[in-house]
Amino acid sequence: ETGVTQSPTHLIKTRGQQVTLRCSSQSGHNTVSWYQQALGQGPQFIFQYYREEENGRGNFPPRFSGLQFPNYSSELNVNALELDDSALYLCASSLEQGATGELFFGEGSRLTVL
Amino acid sequence: GEDVEQSLFLSVREGDSSVINCTYTDSSSTYLYWYKQEPGAGLQLLTYIFSNMDMKQDQRLTVLLNKKDKHLSLRIADTQTGDSAIYFCAESMRSGNTGKLIFGQGTTLQVKP
């Protein structure tokens, strides 16, 4: 059983650029959630995808968007990057939408915006 | 509102017990979690407890839940240097068909040899 994998692990962008982060969910999991973890803080919910549709969103602007593919993998896209977008972006997969019994996290993608 | 509070730092000696505390706000949370994060790594689920339970024990870990006071604690028995990490408490929140976790800011556990 493969766990949640994310890529890239680290990346550096400049303000105004766009970034795409990728996540492969754990085998058998059809729901993917994305979280942003700023330095010294707990993770904050960005959004969740279930069956290729956004299924709930946290307090993040529209320049944060995502996709989920038929194989349940997912992308997080951030446009017009700002310095405050520097953070660890965590992907988590679970068995079904709304299920919060167990959420499995990847190692994260660390984004630095200069 | 959505808020989970934790103390920021705890230092213990190797072999002692560690107790990390957390308070949460949503009385309708069905699950409460403890995650561990080592430097530069993602989150590792340590344990979770259903809201209708008072206690859960898993090897060296004991979770206590006081639903009336909305207080959750994690006790680590015989704490080892490898337990040094940041520990996050999280509550589940369900809005429609969306389940999400609300995390505290994390408690840094330092274990001295």
pLDDT of residue A17: 98
CA-based nearest residue to B50, from A102, A3, A91, A90: A102
Q: List pLDDT tens digits, range B40-82.
A: 888 998 998 988 899 999 999 999 999 999 999 999 999 999 9
| Cβ atoms within 10 Å of B88's Cβ, excluding its own | 25
The whole-chain average pLDDT of chain A stands at 91
* Chain A residues interacting with chain B (CB cutoff of 8 angstroms): 33, 35, 40-45, 48, 50, 55-56, 58, 88, 90, 92, 94, 97-108
Q: How far apart are CA A48 and CA A55, in angstroms?
A: 5
How is the beta sheet containing A64-68 ordered, strand by strand?
A5-7, A19-24, A74-78, A64-68
Sign of the C-alpha dihedral, residues B62, B87, A100, B97? positive
Query: Do B98 and A43 count as a contact with CB atoms less than 8 A apart?
Result: no
Query: Do A100 and B41 count as a contact with CB atoms less than 8 A apart?
Result: no
pLDDT of residue B57: 95
Confidence of residue A74 (pLDDT cuts 50, 70, 90): very high
Residue B73's DSSP bridge partners are: B21, B64
pLDDT of residue B34: 95
Q: Pick the residue from chain B with its C-alpha nearest to A50.
A: B98
Look at residue B31 and tell me whether its pLDDT is greater than 60.
yes
Look at residue A92 and tell me whether its pLDDT is greater than 70.
yes
- Which residues lie closer than 8 Å to B68 by C-beta, 6 or more apart? none
Q: How far apart are CA B35 and CA A43, in angstroms?
A: 11
Q: How far apart are CA B105 and CA A31, in angstroms?
A: 25
Sort out which chain A residues have CB atoms less than 8 A from B86's CB and list them.
none
Of B41, B94, B101, the CB nearest to A98: B94
Sort out which chain A residues have CB atoms less than 8 A from B48's CB and list them.
101-102
- Say whether B35 sits in a helix, a strand or coil: strand
Q: How far apart are CA A104 and CA B44, in angstroms?
A: 8
Q: List pLDDT tens digits, range A23-70.
A: 999 888 888 999 999 999 999 999 999 889 998 899 999 999 999 999
pLDDT of residue B50: 87
| Cβ atoms within 10 Å of A8's Cβ, excluding its own | 12
Residue A92 parent element (H or E): strand A87-94
